[in-house]
Amino acid sequence: MSSNKKYWKSVEELNENSSIVETLQQKEFAEEIPTDEFLGDKDSLSSSSTTRRDFLKYVGFSTAAASLAACEGPVIKSIPYLVQPERIVPGIANYYATTIADGFDFSSVLVKTREGRPIKIDNNTLSAGRAGANARVNASVLSLYDSKRVKRPMANGQNVSWEDFDKQVGDALEGVTGEVVLLTQTFASPSTSKLINEFSGKFGNVRHVVYDAVSEDAALTAFQSKYGTRALANYDFSKAGTIVSVGADFLADWQGGGYDAGYAKTRIPENGKMSRHIQFESNMTLSGANADKRIPVTPAQQRAVLAALYGYISGASTSGDLPGKLDDAVVKAASQLRKAGSKGVVVSGLPDADAQALVLAINEALGSQVMDSANPKMTRQGNATAVAKLVEDMQNGSIGAILIAGVNPAYSLPNSKEFAKALKDIEVSVAFSMKEDETAKLCKFIAATPHYLESWGDVQFTKNNFSLMQPTIRPLFDTRQFQDCLLKWNGSDKSYYEYIKETWSFLGTDAWNTALHDGVFEGTAPVSVATSTSDFVGSTINTSTAARNLSTASEGKGFQLSLYTKISMGDGQQANNPWLQEMPDPLTRSSWDNYLTISRDDADALELMNENVANGALNGSYVNIKMDDVELKNVPVLIQPGQAKGSVGLALGYGKKEGIQEEMQVGVNAYPLYKDFSSIQYVNIEKAAGVHEFASVQLQNTLMGRGDIIKETTLEIFNTKDKNAYNKTPEVSLNHIETAVTSPEVDLWESFDREVGHHFNLSIDLNACTGCGACVIACHSENNVPVVGKQEIRKSRDMHWLRIDRYYSSEESFAGDIDKKR
């Protein structure tokens, strides 16, 4: 079955006449390495300044000098502790449970510290079932040591002491006329909510606006209208039998992410069963790549699909006019969902309250055990209407003071220009920030905040599940937490640590200590973290109207753009993290960039091209994207197999310019296209001049002619046939005789006898692997793997120790492929 299938990683590989592909299968580098040229040319040799080349110079004329320098052993000094802390043994790592809660990533983690320095983030296994550490969380330890961090408080561009800062801000706040606004990230922290309430009590006239750069407003509104709490339904995919996703990349950052571990559990055949996963989507996503059946549809069609699906499940009449093939797929999906019953679940990423209301209704109708509405997620609180209202009010001058914490609206708001202009005119503006970013630069005061590994905190993940944040290192710089500042300005002399302890004092000392040790605990919130529900004006959403709205939604003109977040970059907070920049995207295998993904047909129509140059590196065309009065110029184009025709995709989180190293200022900022916080937009695309150089490893990394190590089979064959039918041991030719690779004769090493005693091996269940790439970053962090930069990646000199290859598959010929599609 698998033998007549062709696997390919790049479109170039389908070109039988491509010499680059042929060469790369045999050699690591496609081009001759120009050693002679380099060494022969005196000028280039002497102008080269790297030490490795210098060594070659030594070899040229003075070997003695080079070798003598190596003979002298260095004198190494060792400085022991004066008073060694009781729990520290040099050479043995200590682990602390803490929590990341940066407004985008919420995860309970275990931090490995060496002699008081955090060096690695691990999963907190005690928090099983909740969000695990993804690539960004793993990389966050490097952001702690970021030299671009704000090191001390600043007032009007001058460094000041905290005493001066408190005095100046205090005086300014006293004399303020107009409203005081707290514009914050989602903290989901009971203590912070309590503190903000106290702050409001002290200053009167305070408005708290929660802003998520990447909004889940539609889902929040739908949930609130149905269940009354502003929260997100929680899903336990480990209970799922059939999963239908309509545009939800739930293995990545959909609704805060963290669902991959549960999903992976059902993908391992157990008692002959696996979950079935059907994905309707426009961009090629991780979830789509993992799906059993993936149907590429444009966002507009997704709405219709969801409406039809609701119709088929609820039995209500549908007025859908889906194309026949797509309708068949929806009918099949509906019947499989019905068959799965309470093990079925539907999820959707459509940024539309109607669509989200339908999802909740379908899952209710199925009686889905997967969806949990009683214990919903609290880690997204952003309110799109409130943010829009705030910008309006800022423009008309009714805001007297604004305190901005944990967000960078001057970069990430769709209407950031208006925001920036209004911000300059506000009397008192304070940015609580780790970076001197776009927003902080415009504020009069910058309060240097610590990294989460230097902070205290409590987080309400779901209604009943809590997590504590504790510092794992003494603050590196002269920083102070947002909450500590509020406490100070409230006139309290407590530290935030004492404040949190007081909030949870009803737990008792023992339970507190256990909770701090475990990092997580269950309970009930002493304070509601949801922003006041009275803001909510929308009535309950009628599902039948919603279905009608969806199926009759008029299509706009141009391409349908789906804005998404990359697994490496998220909303762009850690854009200054080289590990994340260099991490190849799991699907496009490109690093150091964002780009417009487009289908082959559309690209051909627009005369856009992708081509591999002689050394295997990828080049692509540029386009200009226009949406109303917004125009993004020179966006590189990447032709993505599997992209729905008529749709395009672009990642948020790139194109940052302030508070970031020059090398990391890559990509284009897509937030201006994120109008009304809707990830789906209609845009016009036209070709622009020039060629973009990608840092993509998708062609260069090959299997070196060992294609037979790729294994794929169906559940049926796995259940019924012998192991050799689907997992034959690969063979190599030894003296012209095919020999199994496991045979000791073909082994390069003289192997040790492993019959007796304990021996360790590492095996990875590729069924459970979703391709999220967290292991790549974890390996960087554990082994100190260097970052090489965009230019070197282009030359296929990437140094990642772990390489997660992505393969497209097709029949032997394209004709066979099309046959299969029918």
Partner 1 sequence: MKKVKFRHSTSRLLLLSVVFLLSFTNLNFAQEGQDPADAGQASEAQAAEPGSGDVANGKALFNSLCAACHKPYSKSIGPALNGVSDRHSRTWIDSWIQNSAEMIASGDAQAVAIYEEYNKTAMPAFPQLTEAEIGDILAYVEQPKPTPVAATANGGTADGGSGGGVSNNVILMILAFVLVMLLIVLFLVNKTLRNFATASGVELPVKENRKPLYKSFVENQFLVLVTAIIVLLASGYMVYGFFMQVGVDQGYQPIQPIHYSHRIHAGDNQIECKYCHSSARTSKHSGIPSLNVCMNCHKSIGEVAESTATEEYSKEFYDKEIKKLYEATGWDPAEQAYTGETKPVKWVRIHNLPDFAYFNHSQHVSVAGIECQKCHGPIQEMEVVYQDAPLTMGWCINCHRETNVKMAGNEYYEKIHEELSKKYGVEELTAAQLGGLECGKCHY
> Considering only residues 65, 92, 537, 748, which one is a binding residue for partner 1 as defined by CB under 8 A?
92
Interface residue with partner 1, options 16, 491, 748, 752 (CB under 8 A): 752
**Residue 768 identity (one-letter amino acid):** A
For residue 108, give the 3-state DSSP assignment. Answer: strand
Q: Amino acid identity, residue 46?
A: S
In the complex, what is the shortest distance from the CB of residue 574 to partner 1, in angstroms, rounded to a whole number? 30
Tokens of 769: 């692997």
Distance CA 319, CA 548 (A): 8
Token pair of 509, please? 């000392």
Phi, psi at 786, each rounded to 5°: -75, 160
Instruction: Tell me whether residue 76 or residue 815 sits nearer to partner 1 (CB atom).
Output: 76
> Which of 115/731 has CB closer to partner 1?
115
Can you spell out the DSSP letters for 15-43?
-TT-HHHHHHHH-SSSSPP-HHHHHH-HH
Which of 204, 315, 705, 757 lies at the binding interface for partner 1 (CB under 8 A)?
A: 757
Closer residue to partner 1, CB minimum distance, 444 or 780: 780
Side by side, the strands of the sheet bearing 117-123 are 94-101, 106-114, 117-123
End-to-end CA distance of the chain: 18
Least distance CB 476 / partner 1 (angstroms): 20
Q: Based on CB atoms, which residue is closest to partner 1, 79 or 689?
A: 79
Minimum gap (Å) between residue 91 Cβ and partner 1:
4
Beta bridge partners of 459: 467
User: Could you tell me which of 177, 180, 196, 198 has the C-alpha nearest to residue 188?
Assistant: 196
DSSP lists the bridge partners of residue 117 as 114
With beta carbons less than 8 A apart as the criterion, state whether 617 and 693 touch. Answer: yes
CB closer to partner 1, 71 vs 709: 71
**Can you list the alpha helix ranges (DSSP code H) found in 88-161?**
135-144
Q: Which residues pair with 180 in a beta bridge?
A: 206, 401
Q: What angle do CA 432, 438, 440 make, to 5 degrees?
A: 25
Residue from 65, 82, 748, 815 in contact with partner 1 (CB under 8 A): 82
Burial label, 754 (beta-carbon count in 10 A; 0-12, 13-18, 19+):
exposed
Q: C-beta of 784: minimal distance to partner 1 in Å?
A: 11
Q: Smallest distance, Å, CB 55 to partner 1?
A: 17
**Region binding partner 1 by CB under 8 A among candidate stretches 90-98, 280-288, 311-319, 790-798:** 90-98
Site string for partner 1, 36-75 (x = CB under 8 A): ----------------------------------xx-x-x
In eight-state DSSP terms, residue 202 is H
Q: Please say which residue, 90 or 228, places its beta carbon nearer to partner 1.
A: 90
Is the backbone of residue 301 left (phi > 0), alpha (psi -120 to 50) or beta? alpha
Rounded least distance, CB 755 to partner 1, Å: 8
Q: Which of residues 94-133 bind partner 1 (CB under 8 A)?
A: none
Q: Which stretch binds partner 1 (CB under 8 A): 83-91, 132-140, 570-578, 586-594?
A: 83-91
User: Could you tell me if 85 and 440 are in contact, meaning their C-beta atoms sit under 8 angstroms apart?
Assistant: no
- Min separation Cβ 83 and partner 1, Å: 4
Closest separation between CB of residue 82 and partner 1, Å? 5
Which CB atom, from 270 or from 750, has the smaller least distance to partner 1? 750
Between 686 and 750, CB nearer to partner 1: 750
Q: Which two tokens stand for residue 557?
A: 């003109």
Please choose, out of 17-25, 56-64, 80-88, 209-217, the segment that lies near partner 1 by the rule CB under 8 A. Answer: 80-88
Residue 83 engages partner 1 in binding (rule: CB under 8 A):
yes
Examine residue 762 and tell whether it contacts partner 1 (CB under 8 A).
Answer: no
CB closer to partner 1 out of 374 and 799: 799
> CB of residue 759 vs partner 1: minimum separation in angstroms?
9
Residue closer to partner 1 by CB (options 90, 341) is 90
Cα–chain center distance at 732: 40
Phi, psi of 575 (to 5 degrees): -65, -20
C-beta of 510 vs 755, nearer to partner 1 = 755
Please give the backbone phi and psi of residue 156, each rounded to the nearest 5 degrees, phi first. Answer: 50, 45
What is residue 541's three-state secondary structure? coil
Compose the 593-632 pattern: x for residues touching partner 1 by CB under 8 A, - for all others: ----------------------------------------
Picking from 327, 294, 334, the residue whose alpha carbon sits closest to that of residue 310 is 334
Q: How far apart are CA 380 and CA 389, in angstroms?
A: 19
Burial class (CB in 10 A: 0-12, 13-18, 19+), 700: buried
Q: Which 457-496 positions form the footprint of partner 1 (CB under 8 A)? A: none
Residue 761 neighbours by CB under 8 Å, 6+ apart: none
Q: Which of 84, 205, 719, 791 binds partner 1 (CB under 8 A)?
A: 84
Q: Which of 35, 42, 69, 91 binds partner 1 (CB under 8 A)?
A: 91
Cβ-based nearer residue to partner 1, 769 or 775: 775
Determine the interface stretch with partner 1 among 27-35, 85-93, 276-284, 642-650 (rule: CB under 8 A): 85-93
- Tell me the two tokens of residue 572: 């762009």
Distance CA 703, CA 711 (A): 13
Which residue stretch of 675-683, 726-734, 750-758, 796-804 sits at the interface with partner 1 (rule: CB under 8 A)?
750-758
Q: Which one of residues 34, 40, 60, 90 is an interface residue with partner 1 (CB under 8 A)?
A: 90
Nearest distance in Å: CB 748, partner 1: 13
Q: What is the DSSP string of 362-414?
A: HHHHHT-SSEEEEEEE-S----HHHHHHHHHHHHTT-EEEEEEES--HHHHST
CB of 12 to partner 1, least distance (A): 37
744 interacts with partner 1 by CB under 8 A: no
Closest by CA to 526, choosing from 552, 507, 510, 547, is: 507
Closer by beta carbon to partner 1, 75 or else 815: 75
Residue 749 CB, nearest approach to partner 1 (Å): 9
Instruction: Look up residue 260 and give its two tokens.
Output: 């991959």
Minimum gap (Å) between residue 804 Cβ and partner 1: 22
> Residue 754 Cβ, how far from partner 1 at the closest point, in Å?
9
* Residue placing its CB nearer to partner 1 in the complex, 534 or 784: 784
CB of 67 to partner 1, least distance (A): 9
DSSP E strands, 238-370: 242-246, 276-281, 293-296, 344-348
> Could you say whether residue 157 binds partner 1 (CB under 8 A)?
no
Binding-site size, partner 1 (CB under 8 A):
22
Closest CA to 413 of 630, 558, 667: 630
Determine if 756 is a binding residue for partner 1 (CB under 8 A).
yes
Rank residues 91 and 705 by Cβ distance to partner 1 and give the closer one: 91
Candidates 89, 605, 691, 734; binder of partner 1 (CB under 8 A) is 89
Q: How many whole angstroms separate alpha carbon 344 and alpha carbon 304?
A: 20
Q: How many CB atoms lie within 10 A of CB 26?
A: 10
Which of 268, 799 has the CB closer to partner 1?
799
In whole angstroms, what is the distance from residue 176 CA to residue 207 CA? 14
Q: For partner 1, give the closer residue by CB, 89 or 725.
A: 89
CB of 90 to partner 1, least distance (A): 5
- Please give the residue ranges that form the binding site for partner 1 (CB under 8 A): 70-71, 73, 75-84, 89-92, 752-753, 755-757
